[in-house]
Amino acid sequence: MERVPVLKIGDILLVSIQIDMEDQVALQLQEDLADRIVATGCHGVIIDISALDIVDSFVGRTLATIASVSRVLDAETVVVGMRPAVAITLVELGLSLPGIRTALNVELGIEMLARNREADLEFDDDEDEADPAAVTTP
């Protein structure tokens, strides 16, 4: 069985799907990606589907599951490179892909993850300042 490679680029895991997404390949990707998130501590996942001409309901649901699992493991998912025909198919199938953000290409996906990570870090800093338990007195 073929496997989809998962590459680490800084704090991001990049998945570029270049093969037909058969059900077993999609399930293996889900498992491999969860393992890599835990092993690397990455906070972002980019899934490039620009090579996919079609996406069936199983693959669509698997992408949504990958995003949910990633979120539980403290990583945000961005799907990039979606072709118009794939987007139309997903909408026609009634798959809203909850928890998945999209971008037109990998570069924009990386920028989106960086902005969101900065916002999260700023929010955490603000929360610590407002938390009386976080303030120490001499």
Q: 68-108: per-residue pLDDT in tens?
A: 999 999 999 999 999 999 999 888 988 877 778 999 999 99
pTM of the model: 0.83
Percent of the chain, pLDDT > 70? 87
Residue 121 is predicted with a pLDDT of 72
For residue 118, what is the enclosing H or E element?
helix 106-130
84 class by beta-carbon count within 10 Å (0-12 exposed, 13-18 middle, 19+ buried):
exposed
Please give the residue that has the higher pLDDT: either 108 or 132.
108
Cβ-Cβ contacts under 8 Å for 52 (sequence gap 6 or more): 17, 21, 83, 86
Cβ-Cβ contacts under 8 Å for 2 (sequence gap 6 or more): 19, 25
pLDDT confidence band for 110 (50 / 70 / 90)? very high
Cβ-Cβ contacts under 8 Å for 5 (sequence gap 6 or more): 15, 16
**Strands 6-9, 12-16: parallel, antiparallel or unpaired by DSSP?**
antiparallel
**Strands 101-103, 76-80: parallel, antiparallel or unpaired by DSSP?**
parallel
